[in-house]
């Protein structure tokens, strides 16, 4: 599909300001450093970062979506490069080489609004939901063989859906009677027929779609790996900036920063010196009322900022 879908970058200026406000130990300006946009998307953050880098600064972007990579390849700037890879592959960067890492988590508006990608219950399309359409199973392929208990666990764990068991049973019963579900509309209707109550203003299928997307892309596992890698590749004074859009992501980021922002004592050896903290928590920022008014999808965003210590 050749149509283009607009994407309003959430917390654009706030994220880039936080990213470039680190305090590198190198003695050079932060604008001279190497930065990582770990989730290129449609390049809103990347383009602003490039506009603020010096001629010797560099930006490396990651994205596993081939459509995003195609957009990135259109950026004509010698300081910029794109890697078709998940951001968990941050560990491929040289140790202590990076002045700042930005992670804008979740699914982008072009992915949601393109029916072919299968991310949204609002459009009829193939039930795919893969971030990287060149590899791995689609949701439809997984549902064609998954057992009831496995489906229920995914919906419960990643969608926090209290009707997970009922939805899973309905999916398997439908598969046995008429064959597996293969479109977004079919899935949304089945969930609506199964879930009899829902929060006002929320589509009954919201939590199930979220759960399947997170599961099929291993999003939380990828996030955990990327956060751990950031400790190795960030230089002292380098910034970690993470924007999340739902509680499961934000909880992981919050706990990761908290864990590494305090001295750790060995209870088995109370006289030993503590392991010094690796991060310093800097800020927690939410979109302004003006931004939420202009982009409703930003309303759930939370940005957390931390700085790598010299430990």
Cα–Cα distances (Å) from 208 to 31, 120, 164, 197, 259, in that order, read 43, 11, 8, 14, 30
Measured CA to CA, the distance from residue 287 to residue 31 in angstroms comes to 25
Are residues 30 and 262 in contact, defined by beta-carbon separation less than 8 angstroms? no
Residues 88-97, buried b or exposed e (16+ Cβ, 10 A)? bbbeebeeee
pLDDT at 118: 86
> For tokens 């706030």, what's the residue?
14
List, in order, residues 6 or more apart from 139 with CB less than 8 Å away.
Answer: 118, 127, 128, 129, 212, 213, 216
pLDDT at 3: 43
pLDDT at 311: 67
The ranges of the chain with pLDDT < 50 are: 1-5
> For tokens 């300001």, what's the residue?
17
Tokens at 167, concatenated? 């939805």
List, in order, residues 6 or more apart from 293 with CB less than 8 Å away.
Answer: none
pLDDT at 29: 67
Residues 210-220, buried b or exposed e (16+ Cβ, 10 A)? bbbbbbbbebb
pLDDT at 267: 61
pLDDT at 23: 67
Tell me the pLDDT tens digit for each residue of 244-303.
Answer: 999 999 999 999 999 999 765 556 666 655 667 899 999 999 999 999 998 888 889 999
Tell me the pLDDT tens digit for each residue of 220-241.
Answer: 999 999 999 999 999 999 999 9
Strands 80-84 and 279-285, bridge-based pairing: unpaired
Give all domains of the chain, ordered by start, each with its CATH number.
12-109+219-308 (3.40.50.150), 133-216 (1.10.150.170)
Q: Residue 126 forms beta bridges with which residues?
A: 183
């Amino acid at each position: 599909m050749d149509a283009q879908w607009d994407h309003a970058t959430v917390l654009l200026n706030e994220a880039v300001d936080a990213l470039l406000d680190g305090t590198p130990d190198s003695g050079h300006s932060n604008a001279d450093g190497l930065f990582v946009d770990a989730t290129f998307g449609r390049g809103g953050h990347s383009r602003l970062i490039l506009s603020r880098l010096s001629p010797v600064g560099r930006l490396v972007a990651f994205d596993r979506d081939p459509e995003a990579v195609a957009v990135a390849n259109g950026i004509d700037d010698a300081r910029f490069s794109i890697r078709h890879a998940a951001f968990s592959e941050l560990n491929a960067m040289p140790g202590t080489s990076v002045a700042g890492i930005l992670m804008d988590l979740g699914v982008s508006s072009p992915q949601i609004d393109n029916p072919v990608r299968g991310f949204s219950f609002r459009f009829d399309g193939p039930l795919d939901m893969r971030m990287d359409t060149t590899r791995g199973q689609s949701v439809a392929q997984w549902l064609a063989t998954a057992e009831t208990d496995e489906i229920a666990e995914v919906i419960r764990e990643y969608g926090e859906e209290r009707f997970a068991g009922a939805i899973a049973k309905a999916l398997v019963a439908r598969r046995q009677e008429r064959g597996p579900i293969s479109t977004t509309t079919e899935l949304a209707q089945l969930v609506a027929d199964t879930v009899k109550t829902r929060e006002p203003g929320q589509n009954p299928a919201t939590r199930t779609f979220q759960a399947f997307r997170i599961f099929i892309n291993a999003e939380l596992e990828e996030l955990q790996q990327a956060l751990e890698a950031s400790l190795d590749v960030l230089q002292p004074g380098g910034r970690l900036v993470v924007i999340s859009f739902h509680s499961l992501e934000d909880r992981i980021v919050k706990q990761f920063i908290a864990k590494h922002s305090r001295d750790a004592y060995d209870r088995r050896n109370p006289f030993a010196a503590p392991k010094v903290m690796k991060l310093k928590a800097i800020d927690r920022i939410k979109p302004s009322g003006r931004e939420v008014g202009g982009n409703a999808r930003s309303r759930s965003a939370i940005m957390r900022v931390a700085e790598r210590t010299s430990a």
